[in-house]
């Protein structure tokens, strides 16, 4: 009997899950980098901040317990902003007025600066799909893509690919189930 794979966050807690960290890094690096750039950092400094964030995550994530009532994305964003603030503190003296300077702007983020929930979901889904594609046979992937993304009826997809309608449904189910497993706990 095949068991359902644990969510990515759960796999990060297990030392025997060697593929979990690289997958997590590939999935989240573009998002953390985008947040770093939105703080005003130049590309090289943003890349350094991403490295700082992942250094913190290597320590914190194995102990992290996902709470469905809280947002993982918000926690990750807080870690990113805290590392950015730490870097600012190390480089600049604290202003006489704590309500002035770049930290004040970061304390009350501009809504335009925040990634909208829909943008976040699209980003993670797109990255997960990019990473998963190589795990499926091309025909399986194509059947799901045509059926779900392009919205073509299963009968039409089956005829196009020369397979049965049942094979189209099976392919679609397998890819979508895997996507759900990959994103479980990450889209909160």
Average pLDDT, stretch 49-64? 83
pLDDT, residue 110, reads 47
Global confidence as pTM = 0.54
Q: For domain 124-188, give the fold.
A: Arc Repressor Mutant, subunit A (1.10.10)
Q: Which fold has domain 1-115?
A: Rna Polymerase Sigma Factor; Chain: A (1.10.1740)
Query: Tens of pLDDT along 22-44?
Result: 888 888 888 888 888 888 888 88
CA 52 – CA 41 distance, rounded (Å): 14
Rounded Cα distance between 75 and 162, Å, is 47
What does the domain layout of the chain look like in residue ranges? 1-115, 124-188
**Max Cα distance, the chain (Å):** 72
pLDDT band at 139 (very low <50, low <70, confident <90, very high): very high
* Residue 116: predicted pLDDT: 56
Q: Please tell me which residue, 108 or 168, carries the higher pLDDT value.
A: 168
Rounded CA gap, 45 and 88, in Å? 12
The confidence score (pLDDT) of residue 171 equals 92
Looking at every residue in the chain, the average pLDDT score rounds to 78
């Amino acid at each position: 009997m095949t068991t359902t794979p644990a969510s990515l966050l759960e796999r990060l807690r297990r030392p025997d899950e060697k593929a979990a960290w690289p997958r997590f890094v590939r999935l989240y690096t573009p998002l953390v980098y985008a947040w770093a750039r939105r703080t005003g950092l130049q590309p090289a400094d943003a890349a350094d901040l991403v490295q700082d964030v992942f250094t913190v995550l290597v320590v914190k994530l194995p102990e992290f317990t996902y709470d469905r009532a809280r947002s993982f994305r918000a926690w990750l964003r807080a870690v990113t902003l805290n590392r950015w603030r730490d870097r600012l503190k190390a480089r600049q003296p604290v202003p006489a007025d704590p309500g002035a300077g770049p930290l004040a702007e970061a304390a009350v983020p501009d809504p335009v600066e925040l990634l909208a929930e829909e943008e976040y979901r699209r980003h993670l889904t797109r990255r997960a799909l990019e990473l998963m594609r190589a795990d499926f046979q091309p025909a399986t992937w194509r059947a799901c893509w045509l059926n779900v993304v392009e919205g073509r009826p299963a009968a039409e997809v089956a005829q196009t690919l020369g397979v049965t309608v049942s094979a189209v449904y099976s392919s679609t189910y397998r890819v979508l189930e895997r996507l759900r497993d990959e994103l479980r706990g990450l889209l909160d």
